[in-house]
Structure 1
Amino acid sequence: MSHFRPILRDVDFLLPPSVQDWLPEGHLARDVVEVVEGLDLSELERAYAGRGSPPYHPATLLSLLIYGYATGCFSSRKIERATYDSLAFRFIAANSHPDHDTLATFRQRFAQEFEAVFVQVLQVARENQLSRFGTVSLDGTKIHANASRHSALSYGHAEALEVQLKAEVQELLALAEAADGANLPDGMSLPEELKRREDRLAAIAAAKVKIEARAAERFTREQAGHEAKLAARAAKATASGRKPSGKPPAPPTPGPRPNDQINLTDEESRIMPVAGGGFEQCYNAQALVDTASLLVVIPQVTQATNDKQQIAPMLERLAALPEDLPPPKQLTADTGFFSEANVVACESASIEPLIAIQRDEHHPHWSERFANPPAPPPEATPVERMVHRLRTPKGRATYALRKQTVEPVFGIIKSVMGFRQFLTRGLDNVRNEWNLVCLAWNLKRMAVLRLQ
């Protein structure tokens, strides 16, 4: 007699008659459904005309997408398959099976409305006292674009390739003029070869136009900065009565540079340095995270590799939040975000900045941890006041929260949820997808906070 458990695949098993009995209490799918069905989705509901067969309710489709992103199931085809294979997805869909086209269309059609849903979820978190959003931390992480860096084309290489292809076209046309075609290799089709090169020339020409347009925008920005530097230099000379020391700033050079690049798959993505070394085709995903709850307050995606220009847009979006989501009192960020303008902007928004101005030593003397510097003078600049706060024990303790705030969020999104590459292309689409990712993270985190 076998001592193993019997394998009874021919026995008929029946699921519980109610979908409410399919999952244990406290399951993430239950929390997602509870929160989403409590939101105001009237804007999404009014978008349906009411003609034809009854559509799936927006709460069902949105819950499926959120739970999919929260559990590493991003593809609409995989989510459709999961409504058959997974009890959790079956529970969310109420034992129905929306097809992948319905899910993909819903995600694309209402991507802008997901921003309002994101804010509603933050309001739910505040109403349930899961967080007060008093101190926030800002950071960015590089996420791969839905394009390969090998699809990038530089302006210099485009010009060289254009010359080569035009020469090949002339050679092929010369072969075509030969009546007998005796010099053609076996299996070669002149029309196909000509069309292939003409198509590549057209793609290169379009890419060059876009690179030149970017170069013109860059020149406009650099020219404005150059004129501002000249004006400041002239004002300094007038005030001091002496010619300023040093060489005057060099004017910017118009036109594209040989190393200016564009990606032929996703032209709005950029080649960026990534952790561990090397460069990849990426977007810079930003997140403003509450230090107490680890909830993302504001998600953002930028094409800039440098983070220094990202505080001002975050402050604008903070000011646009509803009144029941007041702005935070403190903002922490690493050295990549430091500039005098950013410090002044935070203080102008009544937010106390704690932005590192330089990297600290890994093993400082023990006395530095307990040092309490003297108060800054009344005429101290905003940067000097911030430096003083960072050196106080309270300021050091608050800034230390940054590493255990934003970094775990990015780590869980990438390693646990498995989101390391965008599915969509284009900056607007990528921003909408990052909103959905952070929305899924917030609901996943809120489910944990409710158990604490």
Structure 2
Amino acid sequence: MPNFRSIDRDRPLELPLSLQDWLPAGHLARYIVEVVEALDLSPLIQAYAGRGSLPYHPAMMLSLLIYGYATGCYSSRKIELATFDSVAFRFIACNQHPDHDTLATFRKRFRVEFEAVFVQVLEVAHAHQFSRFGQVSLDGTKIHANASRHSALSYGHAEAIEAQLKGEVQELLALAEQADGRNVAEGMSIPEELQRREARLAAIAEAKRQIEARAAERFAREQAAYEAKLAARAAKAAARGRKPGGKAPKAPSPEPRAEDQINLTDAESRIMHVAGGGFEQCYNAQAVVDTASMLVMVAQVTQAGNDKEQVAPLIEGVQALPEGLNHPEDVIADNGYFSEHNVEVCEAAGIAPLIAMKRDEHHPHWSERFSEPAAVTLEATPVERMAHRLKSRVGRAAYALRKQTVEPVFGIIKSVMGFRQFLTRGLQNVQGEWTLVCLAWNLKRMAVLRLA
């Protein structure tokens, strides 16, 4: 008969008396607490008025959120539960248990202050010489909004539903005028039915108003581009002395299009094309990643599905960083970011761009690995100079770093940390959450770099 260890669930536990003894040295939770408690959190601390019951310390609350996002525990309810049944969360919370409302309010209230904390963590990385921060990569990834694409409403469909509801209101009013109520179905309340339709009409009217406002913004952009094209066409005609060929540019319309949509759950999210095909309700999360350390230096969220307009804002974000972090030598990006204007933006900032101009072949001829392009002329344009760098051996080697830096960061955030959908709604709230996600990634990465 084999012997086994006894099962005695009533035996008193001999747990360590101090929380410091509950986690092994070098644990991620210890590192996050160590870094966060060394930061200047005075903007968060001074936001508390000092009245009412004693609040939880911002350092502890921030550490809980960061560790939660770093380990795939995003929900405030799950974090609250984890402070009871997870040793690491209990260690961070000092055996306290902030409720989910407190955690959710803290995350939303200090979304702007998280950006300053994000920069301070980068300064810690710079001080510990994790990298020279001399080369960065740009990329974006679509992250699902906290809304379904099936909650989207197009302008044309809104008008059709509006007409239908108005017709039903008239029918109900006519029914209410009948004194005997013979045609009223059993259990039906005309006032309730009217109220339900009036509420839907009000919601549709608000949705149409927002679509019309977006259409007005689009018209302003398209009108400016239209006038620029007309001016260029007129200048060309004056230079040649004859009417230019080709069709004249078409004037934009200020009216909303029938296919213009708005999401009734999160009006600031957009339907975007996602990897693998299809369309989903998303935000476009952008990141500037240091190629040496794989730390995120700038984290931004945009409603634009296209990456072309994101180079200038991301470069501005890099330049706004503290000294030692704000002037990389090279910036690497895929062909989704390529335009002549973007190349000029990088050069104006004193950064050498390496932006792919087209998709590369998957299996180029072996001789291309050892070839060098002809020397560039002094009269070359910024795009021509960049094309020359991309064809050189040094340029090809530098561009190859993009796939092993910024793309793995997104892969780890989505697959290892499990962050594939925002919990919050609205562009500002989503921006704060993306900053928190990248802050968690940076501390997770720094915990590994310190041991290297």
| Interval of TM-score (by shorter of Structure 1 and Structure 2) | over 0.9
Q: Distance in 2 between matches of 1:121 and 1:270?
A: 31
Q: Distance in 2 between matches of 1:147 and 1:313?
A: 26
Q: Which runs of 5+ in 1 are unaligned?
A: none
- Structure 1 segment 48-447 matched on structure 2, within 5 A: 48-447=48-447
Q: Deviations over 1:225-258 (max 9, x none)?
A: 0001111111222223333221111111121000
Contact 2:133 2:324 in 1 (8 A): no
Q: Which amino acid aligns with 1:276?
A: G
Contact 2:273 2:279 in 1 (8 A): yes
Q: Deviations over 1:266-324 (max 9, x none)?
A: 10000011111111110000011111111000000000011000001111112211224
Q: Which amino acid aligns with 1:412?
A: I
Q: Distance in 2 between matches of 1:52 and 1:121?
A: 32
RMSD over aligned Cα, in angstroms? 1.1
- Higher mean C-alpha displacement, 231-240 vs 349-358: 231-240
Q: Deviations over 1:101-125 (max 9, x none)?
A: 2212211221111100000000000
Q: Which amino acid aligns with 1:141?
A: T
Q: Which amino acid aligns with 1:275?
A: A
Q: Deviations over 1:401-432 (max 9, x none)?
A: 11111111111111111111111110011001
CA positional deviation for 1:25 = 1.2
Q: Distance in 2 between matches of 1:102 and 1:70?
A: 20
Q: Deviations over 1:194-234 (max 9, x none)?
A: 11111111111111111111101100110000001111111
CA positional deviation for 1:177 = 1.7
Q: Which amino acid aligns with 1:169?
A: V
Q: Deviations over 1:116-142 (max 9, x none)?
A: 000000000010011221111111111
Q: Distance in 2 between matches of 1:236 and 1:7?
A: 90
Q: Distance in 2 between matches of 1:195 and 1:4?
A: 69
CA positional deviation for 1:182 = 2.2
Q: Distance in 1 between matches of 2:397 and 2:93?
A: 45
SS for the counterpart of 1:289 is: strand
Q: Distance in 1 between matches of 2:364 and 2:222?
A: 40
CA positional deviation for 1:180 = 2.3
CA positional deviation for 1:448 = 1.0
Tell me, yes or no, if structure 1 residue 4 matches structure 2 residue 35.
Answer: no
CA positional deviation for 1:2 = 4.6
Q: Distance in 2 between matches of 1:385 and 1:6?
A: 75
Q: Distance in 2 between matches of 1:131 and 1:362?
A: 31
Structure 2 match to 1:38:
38
Q: 1:53 to 1:205 in 2, by over 3 A?
A: closer
SS for the counterpart of 2:282 is: strand
SS for the counterpart of 2:430 is: helix
Structure 2 match to 1:18:
18
SS for the counterpart of 1:136 is: strand
- Higher mean C-alpha displacement, 43-52 vs 27-36: 43-52
Q: Deviations over 1:304-363 (max 9, x none)?
A: 011000001111112211224232110011111000000000000000000001011111
Q: Which amino acid aligns with 2:245?
A: S
- TM superposition score normalised by structure 2: 0.98
Q: Distance in 2 between matches of 1:14 and 1:178?
A: 79
Structure 2 match to 1:28:
28
CA positional deviation for 1:192 = 1.4
Q: Distance in 2 between matches of 1:267 and 1:6?
A: 59
CA positional deviation for 1:28 = 0.6
Q: Deviations over 1:172-198 (max 9, x none)?
A: 112212222222223222111111111
Q: Which amino acid aligns with 1:283?
A: Y
Q: Distance in 2 between matches of 1:368 and 1:245?
A: 41
Structure 1's consecutive aligned runs of 4 or more residues displaced over 6 angstroms after TM superposition are none
The number of residues matched between the two structures is: 452
Q: Which runs of 5+ in 2 are unaligned?
A: none
The share of aligned pairs that are identical, in percent, is 75
SS for the counterpart of 1:401 is: helix
Q: Deviations over 1:135-163 (max 9, x none)?
A: 11111111011111111110000111111
Q: Which amino acid aligns with 2:276?
A: G
Q: Distance in 2 between matches of 1:78 and 1:358?
A: 45
Q: Distance in 2 between matches of 1:2 and 1:50?
A: 63
Q: Distance in 1 between matches of 2:104 and 2:170?
A: 46
SS for the counterpart of 1:164 is: helix
